[in-house]
Amino acid sequence: MKGEAQRCACGGARGGSALVMVIWTIAIISAMVVSFAVEAKLQTAANVYMRERVHMDHLVDAGRVLAEMVIAKHQSVVDYSEDENLDELLETDRWIQEKRQLKQTGSTTTIGPIVVDERTTASSGLSSSSLAASPDDELANRGTVTVQIESVGGGEGGGPKFNINNLYPKGNPHYAEIWENILYWAGVPEDDHAYFINAWIDWRDDDDVKMGDYGDNRKDGGEKEYYEDLCEENEEEVYKPRNGPIPDLKELAKIGPFRQHPGLLTGGVYNPEDKEDDQIVVSNITEVLTVFGGDKINVNLASKDVLMCIPGIRSTDYPEDAEDADLISQAIIDWRGGLDKDGNQVDLEEEETGTLIKSWSKLQEITSDEIGKEAQEYIGFTGGQGDGALYRITITAQSVGMTHVVKAKMTIRESKPVYLEWSEDP
């Protein structure tokens, strides 16, 4: 009996061990199955994501082609006529309405959303009206693209700010007057004006000849030797003048006087090392400067601060006096906002071009003839035209719940599009 009990006990133990092993095996296999299933699901999701990203790239490329096509042709588009047949015009040019809108100064045109797939591309000539996507459109799941184009001036029509790369002797014969006005507007002491102007010219021009001959290193500009000494003194990596156009206004922070007075690039105290009672608050000069565009300022796009720096709006005889410049600039801003010189609402029915200023005579009327004739040489009235014209482009691609946005800045050089900025969301 005792032996039989022992055999039963041993058999039971072996049976229990086998059961445990089976359970563990099942658990491991189950875990592996679940792991494989999860991995397969993740791989499928990754494949879908990659496929859609490729599709997004296709949509963005279609939007880019569409933007370039509309921009390239919008200046030559036929103007509106009361007796025109729009349907016939659309058969010839499916983007005529968008081009017309973009032709207006400072305007923005939006194209789409347009359905784009392998059979439908932006260059196929189909109009946005015939391809506008709706929630019920069965093609919408294939992806849509929306393109927004904003004309910000530049070129022959003038831009919204002064192109700093033109403000030197070989770039603009009136560079000195413009620089003086900008520095007066910012609040820089008059005695320091030459200091900033000469240093900028030495950084921008293509030679190694130092500007100025004041016997004062602060005012004599700065070439290669100046920056070598400056960097050595501050134990920095040596740099030298660019001797060419700068790509970004941030580079001003490396130039002698701008480096020593950083408040001028941000707005703030010009001379923080002085006693509080002697400190001078200056404006941020980057508010009136840019690194691209032509020589003219578009009066329909410029801010009041930019307008106040234009010779002829700011007195050429007394540039330190800003009172008249303030009144003239405000009259222009008011008109653009719908108010005439008497403070009354502009009667848009009597104004053929609305509140757009399209001629020198109109500008004289708006400013009660207070604007100086010198300003004619600096002012433009139309939207971006030809080389140097500037545009902001936003491309929004959507497909299967995914959205991809691209923001770009583009200019025209030698009749070809050149992208100055291209930023994509992750």
Residue 351: per-residue pLDDT:
76
Tell me what the mean pLDDT of segment 301-317 comes to: 92
pLDDT tens sequence across 361-412 = 999 999 988 999 999 999 988 766 666 777 889 999 888 778 889 999 888 7
Residue 187: per-residue pLDDT:
95
Residue ranges per structural domain of the chain: 50-157+387-424
Q: Exposed/middle/buried for 137, CB within 10 Å: 0-12, 13-18, 19+?
A: middle
74-83, 149-158, 216-225, 288-297, range with greatest mean pLDDT: 288-297
Residue 125: per-residue pLDDT:
43
Residue 293: per-residue pLDDT:
76
Residue 193: per-residue pLDDT:
93
β pairing state of 281-282 and 289-290: unpaired
Q: Which residue has the higher pLDDT, 28 or 323?
A: 323
Residue 130: per-residue pLDDT:
39
pLDDT tens sequence across 409-421 = 888 777 788 888 8
380-392 burial, b at 16+ Cβ within 10 Å, e below that, comes to: bbbbbbebbbbbe
pLDDT tens sequence across 189-215 = 999 999 999 999 999 999 888 887 655
Residue 134: per-residue pLDDT:
43
Nearest to 419 by CA among 34, 46, 64, 83: 64
Tell me what the mean pLDDT of segment 272-293 comes to: 92
Mean pLDDT taken over the chain: 81
Residue 279: per-residue pLDDT:
93
Return the C-alpha torsion angle 324, 325, 327, 332, nearest 10: 140
What single letter denotes the amino acid at residue 247? P
Q: Exposed/middle/buried for 235, CB within 10 Å: 0-12, 13-18, 19+?
A: exposed
What single letter denotes the amino acid at residue 289? L
Tell me what the mean pLDDT of segment 45-57 comes to: 63
Q: Exposed/middle/buried for 244, CB within 10 Å: 0-12, 13-18, 19+?
A: exposed
Chain mean position to CA 48: 33
Phi, psi for 217 (deg, rounded to 5): -60, -25
Instruction: Specify the 3-state DSSP secondary structure of 413.
Output: strand
Residue 132: per-residue pLDDT:
43
Instruction: Specify the 3-state DSSP secondary structure of 389.
Output: strand
Percentage of the chain surpassing pLDDT 70? 79
pLDDT tens sequence across 76-89 = 787 777 788 888 88
Question: What CA–CA distances, in Å, run from 102 to 5, 77, 149?
Answer: 99, 10, 8
Residue 106: per-residue pLDDT:
55
Q: What is the pTM of this model?
A: 0.69
Tell me what the mean pLDDT of segment 249-261 comes to: 93
pLDDT tens sequence across 121-172 = 444 444 433 344 444 444 445 688 899 988 776 666 677 899 999 999 999 8
Q: What's the chain's Rg over C-alpha atoms?
A: 33
Tell me what the mean pLDDT of segment 54-71 comes to: 85
Nearest to 393 by CA among 108, 76, 158, 156: 108
The residues near 115 (Cβ < 8 Å, ≥ 6 apart) are 131, 133, 137, 139, 140, 142, 143, 144
